[in-house]
Amino acid sequence: MSKQSRAELIEAITYAVVAFQDATDRLDVAAATSLGVNRTDLLCVGLLLRTGGMIAGELASATRLSPAATTAAIERLESVGYATRSRDDDDRRRVMVHASPLAEARTEPVYGPVRTAGTALLGKYTRAELETIRDFLREGEAFQDREAERIRNLDLG
């Protein structure tokens, strides 16, 4: 049992979250550099791979990019062979965007070992601890999104 007080433990966790976010940023920079894309494009590729493809407008919403910036990202990803786009079969006005087989092939050596090591790391925790971690991450994501919205609405001018 830790000798830290509850307040000290909360402060230590807060710093650990910041350090984890910084490490995630370093990993993303390394991955983007390895894949020859920028961080925004890496975010788009990741979303496309995880979802199996999205309507361009959904990609814009998920990334919080403007329609023009989303189009530019899609064009950059197409130019390096990481994305394809096609008209939506249900609504020809909509554009579907998918990660390409090349994106899958190139991201696997980058993220496959991360996934394997992360799974091994999580394997040392009990079911109850894993549920706590899952809940913290879900609540933390919602917290971060709320704070991002608050910050976007700040008028520091």
pTM, two decimal places: 0.86
What range defines the domain where residue 41 resides? Answer: 6-124
Does some domain include residue 113?
Answer: yes
Per the listing, tokens 């894993």 go with 130
What distance in Å separates the CA atoms of residue 126 and residue 89, rounded to the nearest whole number?
46
Does some domain include residue 156?
Answer: no
Does some domain include residue 26?
Answer: yes
91 CB-contact burial (10 Å; exposed 0-12 / middle 13-18 / buried 19+) = exposed
Domain count across the chain: 1
Does some domain include residue 149?
Answer: no
Condensed to tens digits (0 to 9), the pLDDT of residues 9-51 reads 999 999 999 999 999 999 999 999 999 999 999 999 999 999 9
> Residue 10 sits in a domain of what CATH number?
1.10.10.10
What residues pair up with 55 in beta bridges, in sequence order? 96
What distance in Å separates the CA atoms of residue 89 and residue 15, rounded to the nearest whole number?
48
Does some domain include residue 57?
Answer: yes
